[in-house]
Chains A and B, each alone.
Chain A
């Protein structure tokens, strides 16, 4: 009887040494798995940020908008700021327009006292060169924020934009050049 009781006692549960060893092994395994998971998540986040972070998507939008507008613009005339801070292109409203009757101005609004960030804006509207106020502003659109540098250049019929976006943690340089096609 005494022998049976001893046997039951020994077969139940774990000893203190076994428990400590098991905990130590579990901790090592969990640490390894945790480090692998954290590293994996960081890698995924880095990959995701390279494609979808705010400065990347803003840069993509700015490039697309600039390209689409300039490609529709008339190659006859184009106004460019001496310092390259803004550029104004002229467009035809539709196929029946014989003269340019729309304008679009991209301009860089640097960070200042009132604004913590720099912006790239697009002002657009009707254009009537015979009027004393040729520009009838229809709207102004903010193309992208976090702009730390922007310059426009013109070479023949092509217009280029060099844009630097910086959100504090990531820095993206966007370059675009488009030919003004309409005549």
Chain B
């Protein structure tokens, strides 16, 4: 009689050890899935920012090159008031280039800082350098040297040439 009762208790339900194991496995699966989704969203956002920065850089580059790299280039005039960008203060030179101006463009809630630099290669040839910098974490750029801080900022650089 005692033996039969024991057998019945053993076969019913789960033990107290089996349930925590099951919960643990379930939690690992849920956390793994959440992490995968989190990094997928993050990577898409990063790729989107990189694409936007590239297009902004190309826009300024082509536009500035269209006026032969003029030193009086004003994006507000050349691109029109519909393309909103605000000037930011910056030093007169950076690395080997002279710094013409810096602008901030806001797209999808992210600030993209555009720096227009130039260097005269010869009397008729000018190198135009565009640096676009942005911060995925939302840090603000105060000067162009901040763009070298790769922990806080990402940047994209584009160089072209214009005859003048």
Please give the residue numbers on chain A whose beta carbons come within 8 Å of chain B beta carbons, in ascending order. 7, 11, 36, 40, 43, 47, 50-51, 84, 149, 151, 153, 155-160, 162, 173, 175-179
Contacts and interface: CB of A to CB of B under 8 A. Distances in A.
B23 to A, nearest CB: 11
A50 B108 CA distance: 12
A160 B33 contact: no
A176 B59 contact: yes
A47 B33 contact: no
A156 B62 CA distance: 11
Nearest to B26: A29
Contacts of B33: 36, 40
Contacts of B86: none
A47 B62 contact: no
Per DSSP, chain B at the interface is: helix
B4 A153 contact: no
Nearest to B13: A18
17 contacts: A36-B33, A50-B48, A84-B80, A151-B82, A155-B63, A155-B77, A156-B67, A157-B66, A157-B67, A160-B63, A160-B83, A162-B80, A175-B79, A176-B55, A176-B59, A177-B60, A177-B62
B58 A156 contact: no
Nearest to A48: B44
A36 B63 contact: no
B125 interface: no
A8 to B, nearest CB: 11
Given A160-B62, A162-B83, A179-B66, 9 more contacts: A40-B33, A51-B44, A155-B67, A156-B66, A156-B68, A156-B70, A175-B59, A175-B83, A177-B63
A47 B41 contact: yes
Contact of A50 (B37, B44, B63, B70): B44
Contacts of B82: 149, 151, 162
